[in-house]
Structures are given as structure tokens and as C-alpha cells.
Amino acid sequence: MKRVHHVGIAVADLEAAIKLYTDTLGGRLQRRGRLDDLEFALIDAGDDELELLAPDDAESAIGKFVKERGPGIHHVAYGVDDIHQELDRLRAAGLEQAGEVRTGVHGTPIVFLHPKSVGGVLTELVQE
Amino acid sequence: MKRVHHVGIAVADLEAAIKLYTDTLGGRLQRRGRLDDLEFALIDAGDDELELLAPDDAESAIGKFVKERGPGIHHVAYGVDDIHQELDRLRAAGLEQAGEVRTGVHGTPIVFLHPKSVGGVLTELVQE
């Protein structure tokens, strides 16, 4: 890992969450958009970033998370230089890939690691 | 908020977690210690920080968290300039303080905000 790339937060109401993280907590809305079955908003907190994730569909991964556990912290993402090289290294160390490498909201490759292999933490790698 | 100060991660086995976040994931152990009823290890990830928290006592807040939900992401902490001023502002905006302002592992004042008032996210303020 080079750094914490962002913290992903599952929210039930994206408008309310944007208001909370900007007006109240003092972050800055970088941009919002839609990717696959979710709506997202990226919040800048200084040089750090929060990724607010709202389900577009109750059966999506985020929809199920919110339904089962309520809104809350969803994942931690780390920036890496070469996602395939890092993923090979982490798999060799026993970490378990969850899903395919795909294009994330920043337009670069991302991949998730299964929380059961990372001490209960859903972990994302983001190529920078 | 000025930035994300750290991400707090509840762990069951501090030694194993330190090994995971350093040897495997590539962070650097900054230091470890004990504060009240928990053991902690601070992991540097570039300019970012992870706070690994292990319960010293099953009845502590972290002990109960691990018992009820398993290890995983516990809280997100934001750096602030003046914790009392920021706390007054956030309380006036409807956020709920959880516990007293106290000295955190960095030797500066910290305070938690109740997750039910912050979209399910246990939120910490750290004076920098």
C-alpha cells in the first residue's frame, strides 16, 4: 500500500449524507455519479477522500449491506502502483480476492479483498 | 474536518494484525502501546494512519464490539484545530457526543460522536 486512498461509507440517503459530510462535517463535494448498481459521491477531506455509496437497487451489494447492517463504514481502500502485481503478491500471502479486477469510480482498476481474509475488513486496492 | 486523521480497526489478535498490516499489506509499524482498557498499534500507510485496537478486557467497548460484530472497521477519525469549538458546532448541528473529551493515543484531546447521529459511522475528532 502507498496510502489510504479512501474510506467507503454505505449510506441510505445520498442527499442527506452529502449534506452531513459537507455542510456539517466540513468536507467538500468533489463529484457525484453513478456506477453499475450504485450512486456515489466523493467527498474531499483535505488530501483524503470519503466515498459515499448509496444503493440503486436493494439487491446490490451495498443494498444488502445497508439492509443487513444499516448504513455505516463499508470498506477501506489503499492506493497501489500496479494492481495485478500487488494482487498476485497478496494472494500468494493468503489474502482472498473478491470479484474481478474492474474499473472503479476514478477510472482506474480496482479490486476487493474478502473481509474474512483481512481481519473482517472489506479491503479495496485502487491503482493510482 | 481538516483531513482523515486515522481509521480505527478492531482486531482480535494484535500480533497477527500488525503482521498483516506491515509484512503483508506493506504499512509500517509506527508504535504500539496501551491506553485504558485496550492495546493499540499505529500503522503508517504513507501519510495516513491506521489504528489497530485490541481489547484488553472482553467488557471494554472494543471487547464488546469484537464479541458482537467480530473484528473489523471500528471508526473514522478526523483532525480538527480546536476540538471544543468543533464539538460545540457539531452538537449545535444535531450530532451527538459519545463520552467525554479525553486524551487519545497521540496525547491530544479526542472525542467520539455517536454513530446514530452520523449515519451509522462511529466518528472521532482528534485535535492536531
- List the pLDDT tens digit at each of the 128 positions of chain B: 899 999 999 999 999 999 999 999 999 999 999 988 899 999 999 999 999 999 988 888 899 999 999 999 999 999 999 999 999 999 999 999 999 999 999 999 999 999 999 999 999 999 99
The model's pTM is 0.96
Which pLDDT does position B60 carry in this prediction? 87
Residues A52-70: tens digit of each pLDDT: 999 988 888 899 999 999 9
Buried-state track A114-128, b at ≥16 Cβ within 10 A, e below 16: ebebbbbbbbbbbbe
Q: Measured between beta carbons, which residues in chain A are less than 8 angstroms from residue B76?
A: 7, 9, 50, 73
Separation CA A100–CA A94 (nearest Å)? 17
- Which ranges of chain A have pLDDT less than 70? none
Which pLDDT does position B74 carry in this prediction? 97
Separation CA A80–CA A16 (nearest Å)? 32
Can you give the residue ranges of every domain in chain B?
Answer: 3-127
Separation CA A112–CA A69 (nearest Å)? 19
Cβ separation A1–B45 shorter than 8 A: yes
Write down the CATH number for the domain with range B3-127: 3.10.180.10
User: Quick one: CA dihedral B113, A65, A31, B26, positive or negative?
Assistant: positive
Which pLDDT does position A26 carry in this prediction? 96
Task: Give the DSSP H or E segment for A52.
Answer: strand A48-55
Q: Measured between beta carbons, which residues in chain B are less than 8 angstroms from residue A45?
A: 1-4, 78
Q: Does residue B124 contact residue B86 with C-beta atoms inside 8 Å?
A: no
Which ipTM value was assigned to this complex?
0.95
Which pLDDT does position A27 carry in this prediction? 97
Amino acid at B52: L
Which pLDDT does position B61 carry in this prediction? 87
Task: List the A72-80 sheet strands across, edge first.
Answer: A28-35, A38-45, A48-55, A3-10, A72-80, A123-127, A109-113, A97-103
CB atoms within 10 A of CB B60: 16
Which pLDDT does position B59 carry in this prediction? 86
In 3-state terms, what secondary structure has residue A65? Answer: helix
Amino acid at A128: E
Query: Is the CB of residue B118 less than 8 Å away from at least one CB of chain A?
Result: yes
